[in-house]
Amino acid sequence: MTLEALGFGTRDYLAVVAGGVAYFALGALWFSVLFGKRWMAATGRSPEEFADASPGPGMLLTLLGAVVSTGVVAVVYQWAGGGGVLDGMSVGALIGIGIAAMEGMKGAVYSFDERAHPWALYGINAGYAVCGLVLGGAVYALVA
């Protein structure tokens, strides 16, 4: 089955990108203003260790991941009949909780980094994934 068979057109692709950018922008707030200090403490690393890393490649991959994830939400939204913003949010929540948060839990269960606080880190990261997918689904539904 092709995306065109689902009724995807140029507007839908733009809606996926818009939803992905919104998801990414939420991450900027999530990991700075909202949970930045707690997230850094949960990683067990110092601010100096993060300062030495180049953020560019990670940011680009995070944006790409947000756009691809929003694209998956869009496909499921279309399969479900796509009835509006609440449906987009519901699909985002379903994928966020059912897949992203559950897959992320494995990292907490099998964390072998003595410096990290895996459950705190999991909560922050999984919360971002769920909220980001809900937001991406809402933006997709609004724009498509």
Can you tell me the distance from the alpha carbon of 90 to that of 87, in angstroms, rounded to the nearest whole number?
Answer: 5
pLDDT at 114: 77
Least confident span in 6-15, 17-26, 55-64: 6-15
* Domain residue ranges of the chain, discontinuous segments joined by +: 4-143
Q: Which residue has the tokens 């560019």?
A: 56
Q: Express each pLDDT in 123-135 by its tens digit.
A: 999 999 999 999 9
Q: Write down the pTM of the prediction.
A: 0.91
Could you report the per-residue pLDDT of 92-105, keeping only the tens digit for each?
999 999 999 999 99
Up-side HSE of residue 126: CA atoms within 13 Å toward CB? 19
Instruction: Give the tens place of pLDDT for each residue, 9-19.
Output: 667 899 999 99
Residue 82 reports pLDDT greater than 90: no
Query: Which residues neighbour 6 within 8 Å (Cβ) at sequence distance 6 or greater?
Result: 75, 78, 79
